Structure 1
Amino acid sequence: MTLALQTIGLDKHFGGLHVTRSLSLNIEAGARHALIGPNGAGKTTVINLLTGVLKPDAGRILLEGQDISTMPVHRRVLSGLSRTFQINQLYADLTPLETIGLAVSERSGHGGDWWRRMGTRADINGEIAENLARFHLLDVMNEPTGRLPYGKQRLLEIAVAIATKPRVLLLDEPAAGVPESERHDILAVVANLPRDVTVLLIEHDMDLVFSFADRISVLVSGALLVEGPPAEVARDPQVKAVYLGEDAHA
């Protein structure tokens, strides 16, 4: 088994609040792995620890075997770890064309003059066009992001994450707040993410989780309750009791 991402005994406190408790996760390379749990279970804290937004009080984080526990956020991105957010972190005045162009240019070392590179580099232009098409953004590519429907904004955030060429992608509730009429594109994009990218998904929508994941970890009060294939997790009596409900995916 080749591990893309691993935590070993990960602990985090906020004062007297113990948010993660000796958490050990093993995310296999190429996996579609979901991290679920009730509100307050510590899921987003785990993502913030993995990406360097928060520092662990104890434990280690390994990215493809490399200890990144003390590595700053930008170095983790350059090392192949990218994420999306529960609430998008986009530039409202930039268009999707400009936003993806900035991400591609920054990754290739030309972020300082990205507006020039977009017009002169065929490789950059081709990658931008490919991402706009893959994420269903061609029809709005010249619209200011702040004016886009929320579903399109969520698609753009995933597109930006993919533009960094991650080997591990953390999706923090990609369908959160998206109206039902716009959810189809989100679900389709998540399902069709590149297979050479390992994905760790945090999501409350169980239909999305069970249709996407090949392995599920259930977090309760910052500790790992159950981990296994979706069918096995769905049948587990502890999971039914604390999260899914007795009838969920029986």
Structure 2
Amino acid sequence: MRFGGIVATNDVTLEVRRGARHALIGPNGAGKTTLVNLLTGVLEPTAGRIVLEGEDITRLAPHQRVRRGMVRTFQINQLFNSMTPRETLALVVSQQRGLGGRWWQGLGANAQVGERCDQLLGQFRLAEVADQRVELLAYGKRRLLEIAIALACEPRLLLLDEPVAGVPAGEREELLQTVAALPADVSVLLIEHDMDLVFSFANRMTVLVNGTVLTEGDPDQIANDPQVKAVYLGHGEEAAHG
């Protein structure tokens, strides 16, 4: 991806396998957000292809990618403050099931929608705040609602963009446990600075530096890679000279 004379991502090849727990890490300015925006259709690449389950989706609009199963969360909350978690999820689930604008006719009007909302509220530890306005929720609960919304879209590939960013320490554990318990059949690409979350969650990791893939491997390989220690993790002798 080029912006004038700036190359934000350069020949990045990334394969996320079915059911993966794949983390994308790298220092600020590495190109992580640009890459996610390319994958999800916010940006159109200068060159290259994006393939989802064998289908070239490079030119599809973001909403068309969602329909095909690629769903993301954002670094900054994208929520309706005046709605409750139950109302928000009812809207998403109804839309997903082709009911369009009829969600407002009463949450009990469609038993399947109500049942799915209850499942999500329980799974994401939102049941006790289900009927509170979003603007009144603790920040950790807002993050949980965002991931619940993404899962309500029935993704095959879920992109989690810094899910614990800004979450106070006291609310993080609930979020970490919920992320760890995401359905095994949903492939997850996690973009995150929190190394505790990355290493506890991922079974595959890609390190991006200056818009280019530095290396890729399992968590042990990444933790012990001298280049990664030098440019990102800040450990050891290499970092002191980096």
Q: Please say whether Structure 1 and Structure 2 have the same fold, judged by a TM-score greater than 0.5.
A: yes
Q: Could you tell me whether the CA contact under 8 Å between 1:105 and 1:117 is conserved in 2?
A: no
Count of residue pairs the alignment pairs up? 237
- 1:205 corresponds to 2:220: no
Deviation at 1:118, TM superposition (A): 2.5
Q: Give the direction of change, closer, same or farther, for the CA distance of 1:117–1:29 in structure 2 (3 Å limit).
A: farther
Partner of 1:70: 59
Structure-1 separation of matches of 2:178 and 2:60: 30
Deviation at 1:117, TM superposition (A): 5.9
Of 188-197 and 13-22, the range deviating more from structure 2: 13-22
Structure 1: gaps (5+ residues): 1-11
Report the 3-state secondary structure (helix = DSSP H, G, I; strand = E; otherwise coil) of the residue aligned with 2:15: strand
Structure 2: gaps (5+ residues): 238-242
- 1:129 corresponds to 2:113: no
Structure-2 separation of matches of 1:159 and 1:186: 11
TM-score, with length taken from structure 1: 0.93
Identify the structure with bigger relative contact order (alpha carbons < 8 Å, sequence gap 6+).
2
Structure-2 separation of matches of 1:35 and 1:53: 18
Moved over 3 A (4+): none
Partner of 1:152: 141
Percent pairwise identity: 57
* Structure (1/2) with the larger strand percentage: 1
Report the 3-state secondary structure (helix = DSSP H, G, I; strand = E; otherwise coil) of the residue aligned with 1:25: coil
Report the 3-state secondary structure (helix = DSSP H, G, I; strand = E; otherwise coil) of the residue aligned with 1:162: helix
Deviation at 1:111, TM superposition (A): 2.5
Q: Could you tell me whether the CA contact under 8 Å between 1:85 and 1:171 is conserved in 2?
A: yes
Q: Could you tell me whether the CA contact under 8 Å between 1:137 and 1:156 is conserved in 2?
A: yes
Partner of 2:228: 239
Q: Give the direction of change, closer, same or farther, for the CA distance of 1:247–1:208 in structure 2 (3 Å limit).
A: farther
Partner of 2:161: 172
Q: CA RMSD in A?
A: 1.1
Deviation at 1:16, TM superposition (A): 1.5
Partner of 1:163: 152
Partner of 1:141: 130
Deviation at 1:122, TM superposition (A): 1.2
